[in-house]
Chains A and B, each alone.
Chain A
Amino acid sequence: MSAVLEVRGARYALPQGRVLVEDVSFGVAPGETLVLLGRSGSGKTTALKLINRLLEPTAGEIRIAGRPTHALEATRLRRGIGYVIQEIGLFPHFTVERNVGLVPRLEGWPAERIAARVRELLALVGLDPGVFGARYPHELSGGQRQRVGVARALAADPPLLLLDEPFGALDPITRVELQREFLALQRRLRKAIVFVTHDVREGLLLGNAIGLMQEGRIVFLGTPEEFRRSEHPACRAFLAAAG
């Protein structure tokens, strides 16, 4: 199956010259979850932001469904990519419904279609629309908030999702719950997903492919099975830490 996302030789350097991402290449097909694994400062979040152009690549090419990302206006590009961050970033002055319906609203959908889509998405992430739709983010638990964050990212049915440590701030039990729901959801929706984490267990559980990042480069790229068997010292270090 052809890749939804292709990253070729992506590089990102700060104006002062420090290189944060160097020669990163990978592809992600529909139904596939690529996990970018790495320690803090390894460049995995930077690499993710190059895809939706929150940061502009200084070299290399990124294509989504065959089209180079720089051919589109950045705001249009981003509306076609789901984006979830650890801090979630729900709008505190919007109800759950308005938060989830944001991208459809930006895209000018009619109100009834937005309302129907919001109900469908809340049910999909396991939140009763009648109970939660009118609530504000501060009235939700951490796990519920992140479910809303995922629903919001799925709102305009984008083929590609970028997730930056989405479960990192949750308590261990909620995290396991959401990881399980993520797998079930992905089996149904078959999106192309790039998932950033520093948690090797989470990476091995959720990913079809693991890209291990170190100092801005991908030093290992392969299946979870290959990762487990790899003799690469960075892979060994991560597996040793996981116990």
Chain B
Amino acid sequence: MRSRIVSLAILYIKSTFSLSLPSWKELKKPKKLAKTIGIGLGIVLILADVGFMFVMMNMTMYEGLKPAGMQGLMLLNASITASVLVFIMAFMMALSMFSQSGIESGFLVLPFSSRELLAAKMFLVYFAEALMGVFVMAIAIVIYGIKEAPPFMFYVNGLVTAFALPLLPTAISYLILVPLMNASRLFRSKNFIIYLGGFLGMGFALAFNFYIQSAMTKIGAPASLALYVDSGSLISRLGQAWIPSWLAWKALSEASSITGILAVLGNLAIGLAGCAVVVVLLGNGYVRSLRSFNESTFSKKKLSLDGKGREGRRTFTQKSLMRSLVAREIRLINREPMYLLNGPFVMILMPALMAVVYLAQREILSEAVKSLGPMLTGPGAYLIPAAFGGFLGSSSSITSTAVSRDAKALPWIKSMPIKSTWYFAAKLLHAELFALLGAFIGCGAGALLFGIGALDSLIALLLALLFSTALNMAGLWLDVTWPRLRWDNPLAAMKQNPNSSIAILATMGLIGGLSGLSAVIALPRYAYAMIFGAVFAILILVWVKFFPKYAAKRYKDMEA
């Protein structure tokens, strides 16, 4: 029989990660097999993408430090990077876990002690971060191992250290968050936590991006690398201040000596002691935060039904059906934090991310912009901003998840006297509002960055709008054909919906393809605008001609 705490921790892990591998029998079904392969490929691609970044970082650093005999500093950098990353991720995950406090408070009726509840939840956070820590550390260890052939204990120490690194960040995350949850009612709202987590996550992502981009720039040049690893540099100061990182470095750099073993044990002892202290001290506080978790947004405001006053005139007033349908679409996506952050908010996040990359690698990118000079005197002057605007305008995932998001309400919607044409038109109109915003931001940013004139900017905006509209229409067609109609968590309709990934990848592929085509085929300056514009316009007309009839049939047949 398992102990209660282990059972609860396993339950948390299974419910959070939905760990269930298909059986051989299930894999015989082509659809299940294709889905499993697709998910597997997706995971491999993501790991390869992140892994490549760390491989390049470690390789470049090793090659840069080797001539000075300082290659061991690569391990310090890996320890600090892993520590910072697991700290950020542990904090974010612990924060996001509080958004489930409403559900989790159900466990309070079961015979769990407050410490068991907190320990099981902390184990869940630790489990996820340990995987991350091992991944980051393993890359550095393998690279160093291949290059330097260290003793066997190097690998043992490295592996144990990788598992030890997330312990203290997990403890500290709860040390900060439990008192915070109890300090203010504001924190005991699911929506507030999701938004806070979302914005903090984006902030951390931008900061980490900045850190990686800066590091890559610096370690690429020997002079900058010397400053990067200098005793007064950020990395050195972090290494000295954050004891687990310093111990990790010692465990690896002095793996064959007793110092290395002591460093490993020290790291484990600090981490476990930190977790134990938090569990003992904050168990009751954690349960208190669960008990008092309150997401009620009941309004005490009284609405006037006599139509008097500004609000009175606005509420309970007849409006056109289309206006009502579009308003419903906007409200439902903007008020669901998971949808907003993963959908329309991309319009803000993406330019911010680009700005960070630009700031971090200003010198390199300035050179790149200069190298675009010849293109900017030709059709590139409007094609490049149009690509920015087109990508941004079609990346809201509104249409490619439109039906899936409505799955639960579909029977209700279908029982209303609403033509399928109106229903889908409202969804498209909603996406187009954001397409306009995205195209404007993208083209505007491109125009500012490259100093583009008014005529080219206007052409870029028109092209971006046509492109976004065609892509939004294609996204809607996709989600009408293969909607995800059965889900328990609204997140599944957006983040776990293959349609949104397909739409974004198709957008990227199309922009890449058209860019390549424009570079290869030489045409007069504005011929590209006319050809591309005409192609998008034809696609739009084809959609207008065929989609309503197709969608009406699909709408009729949909069974949510």
Q: Decide if A and B are genuine partners.
A: no
Interface residues of A (CB under 8 A from B): none
